[in-house]
């Protein structure tokens, strides 16, 4: 639920729910109180209480007894000659804050009230003077106010008789006022209860997530990027917390990448330093030999100079590899794509490599299984870097007396597949998925002696992927390794 919706619901809940609860509670509470106060409320309703209809309310308290009196007066006048009947009626009326008075002609034969109620007797109406509205009327004395109901009849001796049901208002009205006081207290308690419920709801919806967000902010400020913000709500604050959690995760990933990047840079510097130190040491040694006259013959001098030249080329290759690596990190590799005949291109590469490899007692075989004139779009210089890196990596790990390299070109539909196979020591299956990762060494103790920056195959993968191709490797330990990569064929687009 959206936060705006929650606030709207809370607003209407604060208004409507208390009204409903108060109405329901007051109805139940008032009914209970009135029923506790008197055994019958015949003819009265809760609406009479709120409408201020006190006559109907108070009259209803004695309605059942008054109906009984009227019935007995009409059907059995002798009923009022029995003192036990009068005492029972008066006892019932006392429970309703009322009493019974019976007057025969001019004399009161029964009086159920206390001494203070004697004052009202003189004001009671004569026989036949009962109020037209059901014989009910108000009377006052110096000390009390009364509601009087009168029933006139002829008793069993033929005398005029009046029976009065007198209700002391001074006793009943405080009870009614107490009901209103108790209802007011109940209203306050209900409002407090509703407010507490809504406060808890708002707290859970707003303050609790904000508290967690504040704590997460402090954790991140203190450098703890592992603190997770577990908020699943879909409202505005929940979405804010989820965005914050995503930001924390990105910061954590970025921090981990930076640590990894720094480690890789340190390893690269260490590798390059080691690889540069070897040719520099050799160059210094041969230069000192020339200076000291060790190279006494032209042939020996030429050998020294040739060695120096080769070592300088090794240094140049390492520096070039380092420069290219920096371009990979910044995605600024310069490509010049051109259309070229892949068969002719690899034929030239094989011819050039054959001359270099023969001096190292390595045989290179080249096989072309694609149709003549098959074209691709590629950067010739970067594609040559791919081939040279793969070949140099294969040569580095050749362990046979007679080395063998094979280059094959195969037609695989819309692609040309190039395979470069060697008969070296091979790669373990557990290491194959990682050989294209930067700085990965299948056997660091063994490979450290071979030199290399550790980024050659990662550069190869980057160049092939930038050409829209894919590269992978297969290998068997002790037999050799095959590098496979595919490049898309160039196809003319025909316009009608």
Strand, coil or helix: 339: strand
Bridge partners, 45 (sequence order): none
Edge-to-edge strand list for the sheet holding 415-422: 362-368, 403-412, 415-422, 480-488, 470-476
The DSSP secondary structure of 201-263, one letter per residue, reads: HHIIIIIHHHHHHHHHHHHHHTT-TT--------SHHHHHHHHHHHHHHHHHHHHHHHHHHHH
| pLDDT of res. 50 | 41
* Residue-level length of the chain: 496
C-alpha distances (whole Å) from 381 to each of 261, 316, 328, 335 are 28, 16, 16, 9
Q: Is the pLDDT of residue 390 over 80?
A: yes
Q: Which residue has the tokens 């106060």?
A: 37
Q: Is the pLDDT of residue 453 over 90?
A: no
Looking at residue 489, the DSSP 8-state letter turns out to be B
Indicate the pLDDT class of residue 495, thresholds 50, 70 and 90: very low
Check: CB of residue 323 under 8 Å from CB of residue 315.
no
Section 373-397 average pLDDT: 91
| pLDDT of res. 41 | 40
| pLDDT of res. 468 | 92
Q: Is the pLDDT of residue 480 over 60?
A: yes
Helix extents (H) in 108-224 = 169-202, 208-221
Q: Which range (17-21, 60-64, 465-469) has the least confidence?
A: 17-21
| pLDDT of res. 481 | 94
CA atoms of 233 and 229, how far apart (whole Å): 12
Residue 114 has φ and ψ, to the nearest 5°, of: -90, -175
| pLDDT of res. 310 | 78
Check: CB of residue 143 under 8 Å from CB of residue 169.
no
| Residue 324 or 174, more confident | 324
CA atoms of 7 and 104, how far apart (whole Å): 72
**331-367: per-residue pLDDT in tens?**
667 788 999 999 999 999 999 898 888 878 899 999 9
Of 46, 43, 20, nearest in space to 33 by CA? 46
Section 104-123 average pLDDT: 85
Question: Measured in Å, how far apart are the chain's first and last C-alpha atoms?
Answer: 58
| pLDDT of res. 193 | 79
The number of beta carbons lying within 10 Å of the beta carbon of residue 247 is: 12
Check: CB of residue 216 under 8 Å from CB of residue 243.
no
Mean pLDDT (the chain, rounded): 79
C-alpha distances (whole Å) from 267 to each of 274, 279, 390 are 10, 19, 21
Indicate the pLDDT class of residue 135, thresholds 50, 70 and 90: low
Domains and CATH numbers, the chain: 3-54+177-211 (no CATH), 75-172 (3.30.450), 236-327 (1.10.287.130), 335-488 (3.30.565.10)
Helix extents (H) in 38-148 = 46-51, 54-61, 63-75, 83-94
Indicate the pLDDT class of residue 449, thresholds 50, 70 and 90: very low
| pLDDT of res. 441 | 62
**399-424: per-residue pLDDT in tens?**
888 899 999 999 999 999 999 999 99
Q: Which range (116-130, 145-159, 260-274) has the least confidence?
A: 260-274
Indicate the pLDDT class of residue 25, thresholds 50, 70 and 90: low
| pLDDT of res. 29 | 59
| pLDDT of res. 45 | 45
**168-220: per-residue pLDDT in tens?**
877 665 556 666 677 777 777 777 777 777 777 776 667 777 777 888 888 88
**69-90: per-residue pLDDT in tens?**
889 988 998 999 888 999 999 9
C-alpha distances (whole Å) from 388 to each of 22, 139, 318, 385, 420 are 89, 125, 13, 5, 11
| pLDDT of res. 416 | 95
| pLDDT of res. 21 | 67
What is the pTM (predicted TM-score) of this model? Answer: 0.47
The number of beta carbons lying within 10 Å of the beta carbon of residue 45 is: 14
On the 0-12 / 13-18 / 19+ scale of CB atoms within 10 A, 414 is exposed
Q: Is the pLDDT of residue 5 over 90?
A: no
């Amino acid at each position: 639920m959206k936060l705006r919706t929650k606030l709207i619901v809370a607003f209407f809940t604060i208004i409507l729910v208390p009204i409903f609860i108060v109405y329901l509670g007051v109805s139940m509470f008032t009914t209970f109180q009135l029923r506790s106060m008197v055994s019958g409320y015949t003819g009265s309703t809760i609406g009479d209480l709120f409408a201020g209809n006190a006559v109907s309310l108070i009259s209803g308290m004695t309605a059942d007894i008054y109906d009984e009196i009227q019935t007995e007066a009409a059907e059995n006048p002798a009923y009022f000659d029995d003192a036990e009947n009068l005492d029972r009626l008066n006892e019932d009326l006392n429970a309703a804050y009322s009493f019974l008075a019976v007057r025969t002609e001019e004399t009161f034969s029964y009086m159920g009230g206390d001494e203070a109620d004697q004052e009202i007797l003189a004001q009671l109406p004569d026989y036949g003077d009962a109020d037209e509205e059901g014989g009910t009327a108000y009377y006052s004395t110096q000390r009390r106010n009364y509601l009087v109901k009168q029933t006139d009849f002829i008793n069993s001796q033929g005398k005029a008789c009046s029976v009065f049901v007198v209700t002391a208002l001074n006793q009943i009205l405080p009870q009614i006022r107490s009901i209103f006081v108790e209802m007011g207290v109940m209203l306050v308690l209900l409002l407090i209860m509703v407010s507490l419920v809504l406060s808890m709801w708002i707290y859970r919806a707003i303050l609790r997530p904000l508290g967690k967000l504040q704590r997460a902010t402090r954790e991140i400020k203190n450098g703890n990027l592992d603190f997770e913000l577990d908020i699943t709500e879909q409202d505005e604050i929940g979405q804010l917390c989820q965005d914050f959690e995503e930001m924390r995760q990105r910061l954590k990933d970025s921090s981990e990448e930076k640590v990894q990047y720094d480690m890789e840079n340190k390893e690269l510097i260490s590798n390059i330093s080691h690889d540069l130190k070897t040719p520099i040491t050799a160059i210094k040694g041969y230069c000192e030999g020339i200076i000291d006259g060790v190279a006494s013959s032209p042939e020996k001098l030429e050998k020294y100079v040739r060695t120096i030249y080769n070592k300088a080329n090794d240094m140049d290759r390492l520096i070039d590899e380092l420069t290219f690596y920096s371009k990979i990190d910044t995605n600024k590799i310069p490509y010049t794509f051109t259309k070229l005949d892949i068969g002719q291109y690899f034929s030239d590469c094989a011819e050039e490599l054959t001359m270099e490899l023969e001096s190292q007692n390595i045989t290179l075989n080249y096989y072309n299984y694609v149709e003549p004139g098959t074209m691709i779009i590629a950067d010739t210089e970067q594609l040559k870097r791919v081939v040279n890196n793969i070949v140099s990596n294969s040569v580095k790990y050749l362990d046979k007396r007679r080395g063998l390299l094979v280059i094959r070109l195969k037609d695989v539909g819309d692609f040309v597949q190039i395979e470069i196979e060697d008969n070296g020591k091979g790669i373990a299956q557990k290491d194959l998925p990682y050989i294209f990762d930067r700085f990965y060494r299948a056997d660091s103790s063994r490979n450290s002696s071979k030199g290399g920056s550790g980024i050659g195959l990662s550069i190869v993968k980057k160049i092939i992927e930038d050409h829209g191709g894919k590269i992978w490797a297969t290998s068997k330990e002790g037999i050799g390794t095959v590098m496979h990569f595919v490049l898309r064929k160039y196809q003319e687009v025909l316009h009608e």
